[in-house]
Structure formats: structure tokens, C-alpha cells
A and B are shown apart, each in its own frame.
Chain A
């Protein structure tokens, strides 16, 4: 059981990271798209960002350097990531369950980070200060993990209720969505329940963490907790292959689409990318497009279908 749990964790983590990397590369390698921003843009000048204004509000805007307000961008990102600001603003009914669920996940990540740090401190040094730090971090990790699992289960359960009871969500809820939420509920219930109700003599969280790092098979753990760990690891591996990977997508949808107001200036890297895109050879079939797989996008854009039709008519005469 112990070895199976360790292997599940290793594989789960590996597949998760590989899956995330693959997804990142897929989006990062897409060609430059047309500008498609939506205002407000948080990296605008704070005065303008407050009401959604842009540099287009200034006459001869191209004579002024583009403002980069990173502080504004970070503020919006933090509000959005931690507190799901858009959901709170536009869909309050779904916000609380979703917030509980997501905040639980963040706390879970923090708990794992604390545990890893405590473990690393314990491994690296035996000085009293470091040992003291371990004694602080370990209970924080323990407490955070318990809070995280509770929030995740509560949030997922509430979301599941919404999905099944709210007619508004019906048309866009699939069997997979129900499965995903159940997956979270079962995995984290087993984790917290299994740990709380573990038999005397079975490993504590700290012991288990140390064991996982050293592949120490002498560690004993309860079957429910072990099953929870295997399920949670499988869930981790599964996430990058579902729409639950929106934590990756969100970087691209916000930064690369919604907030992308970069100017195409002459001689810039952006202009080179535009030129490269104009070299694509589309094959759309409608006659007015005139795409035959040989003409480039730039060539198609510089033709006039009405003139071509006229020329064809004249040639036929």
C-alpha cells in the first residue's frame, strides 16, 4: 500500500507537470492573433484604468510612450486569482461556493509548500533556529491541510448542488463536470477523514512526507488515507487534460488576448510577427476569398474579388 501511494504521488506529480507544460507550449506557440482587447486594461495609467480609458483618448497617441502600470495589473490579478473578483461582481450566486473551492485549493498548495519547506529545513540543518522553524511550519502545514480539505469538499459539494439543481447550468453541464466534482469530494473526504480517523501507530503527516521523499516503505498508513492520496494523485494527473486547467488558460486569455494592447510599431518584433503571419497560405473554399493554398494571406488581402470577377467575365466574352 505504502509503495503504491508513493508511486501514485510521483506519477501524479510528473504527469501533472508534463501535462501543464504541454498545454502551456500549445498556447505559447500559437501565432500572433489580431488585437482583440477589452477595456478596462489594468496596465493603463491609473487615472484611465479606473474608468476603462486607453491611450486612444489622446490625440496623436503614437507620439507618446506606452504606459506600463504593472502595479495596477498585479492588483487586478491578485483580486481575480485570490478572490475571484469577476465572479463576485457578475455572478454572485456562484461566487461563494466557487470561492470556497478555489480558496481551499490555494490553501492546499500553501500546506504542501509549508510541509516541503519544513522537510527541507529538517534535512538541511540541525541548528536550533532551523529546528524551531520546522516546529512552526509543521503544525501550520497540518492545520492548513485540514482547512483546505474541508473548504474543497464543502465548495465542491455546493457546486455540485448548483450544477444539478440550477436549470441555468443544465445545458452546459456534462457528465464529466459531475464526475470532476465528485472526484474532488471523494478524494479529499478520504484524505481528511482517513487522516483524522487513522489508527494509532500510523504515520503522521510529517512522517509520511519524509517517507515519501525517501521512499520509506516501512511507514504505515491507514487504508482510507492511502486511498485518498492515490485518488488525489490521480486527480492531479487528470487536471491538465480537462478544462480545469483554466489556471493556465487564464494567463493567456487575460494577458495575451484581453489585455494585449501592444502597438505594432515599425521595425518592432511585433511587426516581424505580423509579416510572418501574412505569409500563411489559407485554403478557405468560398470563391470570394480566392484562397487556393498557393496565395499568401497578404496576396489575398491585396486582391479585389469584384475586380477579379469582372476580369473573368471579360475574358469569357
Chain B
């Protein structure tokens, strides 16, 4: 590993990677992955990728930025970057985050408290490149030099930096080496937000230069605005698929379930992450069953984008974020529902319940809430009978950052688990001090090149350590264990990471949502709703 890099290396000419990570230098993992040999070797970036795209940061490539063909093209790209940089610090262009970004730029003391909180920095073996201030310090120097037009005195005070295309290309990639979990911001004594820095850099690259990973833009927010869902499902297809889910759930549970669509005046408009319908159909099925049995007057909407709660704009683009949020609200307004309830999707929670609160006015500002208080109230109300012994296996809970640290929904899920899962145990740390799953901010759906290797080895490593520690007293395959992840994105990360490390086959670590555990414990339901079949 060439871990000893200096900030000035970011401008180093050429496309050679600044660092190389090796397993032996990463944060050690507990059993059964305690030795370096038990870890996987990294897949190398293909020569084709290295020849076509800018891969000058580390051992992976998330964004696939085509290499400029000439120095003129490089200069044009740098000019566009500078134009975007100005807009980032202009209230007309960036009212959405102008104040927190300005405060972060002007007051960091470089104390490195943030670094002690960052799971990526720690898991990488404390590699300088992944230090939260590394990225922020580059932007800070650019801000003082090109936005504030600081001269020599400013360079002396704030540090100088050489702007060229290699810097911009590396900075684009570096903005996709942060999960935006904002654990660093939580610990900062000043209140600076290095997670926001990564997010705002992504915004600059998207909104000014049109540079975004394909998975979250073309195949993400754009597809959602075109077809209705990032899964590509149109309204007709999603209705068909949900009908199939209803049929399957009815058969598995012995209780007739029928998902209502487009019911005007319903109390609740439920919006799922549509990925659940495709990848984990038992999740929307469990929701339908619980709401039906609890007698909730609910509906789903078949309006464009309103049957998919995802809002990838949250991670990279204000315009895309606002467009999707407005689609959700327009659908609710059209149906005249009393409230919107978000299903098991962390970023959708924060996007619609929290962030969108400051773009909605008048009758578009329809109340929005998490499904968790509703589910907790149903479970504890006594309306449905439960048999907790059906869940008598080790269960631990992952706290999705967007629901917990960034929204404050901490206890409802725990009240449910304490009531229904006799072997529930916490990870450490948990609640608002949790660690990200490693798939946050779009990483869970970014699978180009060898990027998954990076997210399993680095961004997901701290969470993997927590999971293994939570089940440390029952590690063997004789005891099936349930990792409860009430977030679609987190589940995607866990599915891929557990598969990668073969922890289902060897250790029987299973993952799933919260509603599945609720249905599994319902006495009126046929036993064995959780089938322990890997998917």
C-alpha cells in the first residue's frame, strides 16, 4: 500500500492510482474472518477500464469518467468545474445547502475528530486518502483560491492547491468514497460536515458537468421519472407483480391478502422501495398482511414514481431530488389521502419526511411519516396475536443511518423486537451512534467494475465486524441467525456482502426486514413465514 500520500498528490499528472489497498493493511475482522488468508483477494480493474476511464484514485472505479482526448478537452472540463464551483457558493444556485457548506468551508480547524468516527477511514487501515478531511481540504483550498479569489496571503493561511484535470478526475471519484452517513458530522466539535462536502461535490459534478454514476442517474432517478420506478416497472407491471405477491403471501400465510390501489381518501398512502417488490416480495407482502389484519384504511398509488419511494437525488442532485419528491406528493394530493407512510427504505424516509419538508408549500405539504411508529402501535395494541417463540433465534438490528442518526427514529423498531424476538441483541455501537452498512449513498446499487470489492472490503467492513461480534456466542452453522435490516438499500448491501464472504453457507447468517419478523410471529399465520431460503 502506498498510504503515505500528501494532499498535493491529488494533482499528480497521469492516471496512476494514488494508493493501492491490500488486505493485510485493512482493519482486522473477528472470526471467522480473523486472518488475512480468510479474506478475499481483490478483483483487479480490467485493462479496458483503465485505458478508457479515469482510474487515478485507488484500486477501483465508481464513476467511469471517459478520459479526455486532448489537453483542450481537459481544459474545458476544468473550466466547467470552476464554473460549478462558483455556483456551489452562490445562494441563487445553491440555496439548498449554501449555509452549512459555507460554515464547513470556513471553520474546520483540522482537529481530525471526524476521522475517528469514519468507518471507511478506520476500515481502510487509516489510509490518508479516506480521511474525511482529505476530500474536504481539497475543496476548501479550491474555495479560498478560486471562489474567494484569495492571493498569496490566503494560500499561506488556508493552503495552496494546483488545479488541473487529474485533480478534478480524482475528486469526482473521491466524492464516491463516502457513504454520506454523517457520523463524522455528528462528532465534529465545530459542527462542520464532511459528509455534506462529498454530497455537494457530487452535486457540482452532476448539475454542472453531467457526471454521475450510471446506476444512480440514468438507471436511477431518470428511469424513475420516465418509467415510474428505477426498477423499470411501469404502473401495469407493478400492479401485476404485487398481485402475484398477494397471491403468494395468501398461500404462504393462509390469510387472504389484497393490496388496494388508488383508493381515494384513504388514511394511508403506503410507498415502498419498489426494489422490495422485485427482490424481496415477502416484504411488501408482509406489509399488506399486517395492514389488512390491523384494519388500516390504506392504499398504494399507481401514479408515475409514486409506487417507488426511492429518491436517489438525495445523494447527488437537488433538481432530481425535488422532482421525485414532488411526484410523491402530487400522487398523495390526487388521491386525497390523509398521510403518506414510507416502507422499509432508509433514504426514502429522510428524503420525503425530512429534507423535502423545505420544498413543499400549500396543499402539497401532506403529512409524511415512517412506517415504524404505525407498526409499533399495531404490534403493541393487541389487535393481532403474536407468539414470540416463533422468533426464538438470535436476532440483531442494523440501524439505517437515514432513519436513525438523521431522522431520530430509534425506539419503535426496538420496542417491536423486544416484544417479538426473545433473543434480540444490540450491535455495539447502535442507535444514533450506529455505523453505516457500507452501501449507503448509492453504493449498494453500484456494481460496476470491481467497485463491489471496495464496498465489501472497505465501506462495509466496520458493519461486518459489528455483525460478527453481535453473533459471537453462536457463530456456527447449527444456529440460524437473523440480521434485521429495515431498509432496502442496507439489505442489498448485506445480501451481497454475506454472499461474498459466504457467511450464510458457513455461519447461517441470514438477513431480512422487520415486517417479516412481525408476520413470522403472528399466531394466525401458518408457521414458518421466514423460510431461511437464501435469496
Is B93 interfacial (CB-CB < 8 Å)? Answer: yes
Q: Which residues of B contact A285 (CB under 8 A)?
A: 80, 83-84, 207-209
Is A266 interfacial (CB-CB < 8 Å)? Answer: yes
Q: Which residues of B contact A55 (CB under 8 A)?
A: 408
Bound form: Cα–Cα A171–B411 in Å: 40
Closest to A28 in B: B99
Q: Do A57 and B157 touch (CB < 8 A)?
A: no
Q: Do A288 and B320 touch (CB < 8 A)?
A: yes
Set A52, A173, A253, A280: member contacting B103, Cβ < 8 A:
A253
Q: Do A249 and B373 touch (CB < 8 A)?
A: no
Is B404 interfacial (CB-CB < 8 Å)? Answer: yes
Set A36, A246, A303: member contacting B107, Cβ < 8 A:
A246
Is A60 interfacial (CB-CB < 8 Å)? Answer: yes
Q: Assuming A266-B362, A305-B225, is B92 touching A86 (CB within 8 A)?
A: no
**Contact size range, A:** 35 or more
CB distance from B87 to the nearest CB of A (A): 6
Q: Do A57 and B111 touch (CB < 8 A)?
A: no
Q: Do B159 and A33 touch (CB < 8 A)?
A: no
Convert B370-390 into 0s and 1s, putting 1 for each residue whose CB lies closer than 8 angstroms to a CB of A.
101110010000000000000
Q: Assuming A52-B432, A250-B190, A280-B95, is B185 touching A289 (CB within 8 A)?
A: no
Q: Which residues of B contact A245 (CB under 8 A)?
A: 107
Bound form: Cα–Cα A236–B73 in Å: 47
Bound form: Cα–Cα A149–B361 in Å: 54
Q: Which residues of A contact B369 (CB under 8 A)?
A: 56, 59-61
Bound form: Cα–Cα A64–B56 in Å: 53
The 10 closest A-B pairs by CB, nearest first: A54-B408, A253-B191, A172-B110, A52-B432, A176-B157, A301-B322, A306-B226, A91-B113, A30-B99, A286-B210
Within 8 A of B (CB), among A292-307: 297, 300-307
Within 8 A of B (CB), among A24-80: 26-27, 30-41, 44, 48, 51-62, 80
Closest to B371 in A: A59
Q: Which residues of B contact A174 (CB under 8 A)?
A: 156-159
Is B151 interfacial (CB-CB < 8 Å)? Answer: no
Q: Do B323 and A304 touch (CB < 8 A)?
A: yes
Set B93, B102, B137, B189: member contacting A27, Cβ < 8 A:
B102
Is B97 interfacial (CB-CB < 8 Å)? Answer: yes
Q: Which residues of A contact B319 (CB under 8 A)?
A: 284, 288-291, 300-301
Q: Assuming A258-B185, A280-B92, A285-B83, is B111 touching A91 (CB within 8 A)?
A: yes
CB distance from A278 to the nearest CB of B (A): 7
CB distance from A200 to the nearest CB of B (A): 42
Segment with Cβ contacts to A, from B22-30, B127-135, B523-531? B127-135
Within 8 A of A (CB), among B102-136: 102-104, 106-113, 115-117, 128, 131, 133-134
Closest to B153 in A: A176
Q: Which residues of B contact A58 (CB under 8 A)?
A: 373
Is A164 interfacial (CB-CB < 8 Å)? Answer: no
Within 8 A of A (CB), among B342-372: 353-355, 357-362, 365, 367, 369-370, 372
CB distance from B256 to the nearest CB of A (A): 26
Closest to B327 in A: A304
Within 8 A of B (CB), among A255-295: 256-258, 261, 263-264, 266, 270-271, 274-275, 277-278, 280-291
Point out which of A176, A280, A282 has the most chain B C-beta atoms below 10 A from its C-beta: A282
Q: Do A84 and B189 touch (CB < 8 A)?
A: yes
Q: Assuming A54-B409, A175-B156, A301-B319, is B87 touching A284 (CB within 8 A)?
A: yes
Q: Do B410 and A253 touch (CB < 8 A)?
A: no
CB distance from B407 to the nearest CB of A (A): 6
Bound form: Cα–Cα A270–B323 in Å: 21
Within 8 A of A (CB), among B159-213: 159, 182, 185-193, 196, 206-210
Chain B residues within 8 Å of chain A by Cβ, number: 94
Bound form: Cα–Cα A282–B100 in Å: 19
Bound form: Cα–Cα A34–B373 in Å: 24
Q: Do B110 and A169 touch (CB < 8 A)?
A: yes
Set A31, A80, A252, A253: member contacting B91, Cβ < 8 A:
A31
Bound form: Cα–Cα A256–B193 in Å: 13
Closest to B314 in A: A34
Q: Which residues of A contact B192 (CB under 8 A)?
A: 253
Bound form: Cα–Cα A52–B360 in Å: 26
Is A150 interfacial (CB-CB < 8 Å)? Answer: no
Q: Which residues of A contact B109 (CB under 8 A)?
A: 177, 243, 246
Q: Which residues of A contact B512 (CB under 8 A)?
A: none
Is A315 interfacial (CB-CB < 8 Å)? Answer: no
CB distance from B504 to the nearest CB of A (A): 32
Is B431 interfacial (CB-CB < 8 Å)? Answer: yes
Q: Which residues of A contact B328 (CB under 8 A)?
A: none
Q: Do B410 and A57 touch (CB < 8 A)?
A: yes
Is A242 interfacial (CB-CB < 8 Å)? Answer: yes
CB distance from A261 to the nearest CB of B (A): 8
CB distance from B350 to the nearest CB of A (A): 9
Give 5 A-B contacts (CB < 8 Å), ordered by A residue.
A52-B432, A57-B411, A169-B110, A172-B133, A257-B99
Q: Which residues of A contact B222 (CB under 8 A)?
A: 288, 305-306
Is A234 interfacial (CB-CB < 8 Å)? Answer: no
Q: Do A171 and B408 touch (CB < 8 A)?
A: no
Set B185, B208, B411: member contacting A38, Cβ < 8 A:
B185
Bound form: Cα–Cα A270–B357 in Å: 10
Bound form: Cα–Cα A176–B150 in Å: 14
Bound form: Cα–Cα A34–B317 in Å: 13
Is B272 interfacial (CB-CB < 8 Å)? Answer: no
Q: Which residues of A contact B421 (CB under 8 A)?
A: none
Is B339 interfacial (CB-CB < 8 Å)? Answer: yes
CB distance from B436 to the nearest CB of A (A): 14
Set A54, A91, A263, A304: member contacting B407, Cβ < 8 A:
A54
CB distance from B473 to the nearest CB of A (A): 25
Q: Do A39 and B407 touch (CB < 8 A)?
A: yes
Bound form: Cα–Cα A51–B317 in Å: 32
Closest to A84 in B: B189
Convert B417-449 into 0s and 1s, putting 1 for each residue whose CB lies closer than 8 angstroms to a CB of A.
000000000000001100000000000000000
Q: Do B102 and A266 touch (CB < 8 A)?
A: no
Is B98 interfacial (CB-CB < 8 Å)? Answer: yes
Is A144 interfacial (CB-CB < 8 Å)? Answer: no
CB distance from B305 to the nearest CB of A (A): 9
Q: Do A40 and B408 touch (CB < 8 A)?
A: yes
CB distance from A248 to the nearest CB of B (A): 9
Is B96 interfacial (CB-CB < 8 Å)? Answer: yes
Q: Given contacts A246-B109, A254-B191, could you give 12 more A-B pairs where the C-beta distance is less than 8 Å?
A: A30-B102, A33-B97, A33-B99, A37-B354, A39-B406, A94-B113, A168-B112, A172-B110, A172-B137, A252-B191, A285-B80, A306-B222
Bound form: Cα–Cα A51–B408 in Å: 9
Closest to B134 in A: A171
Set B80, B113, B322, B432: member contacting A39, Cβ < 8 A:
B432
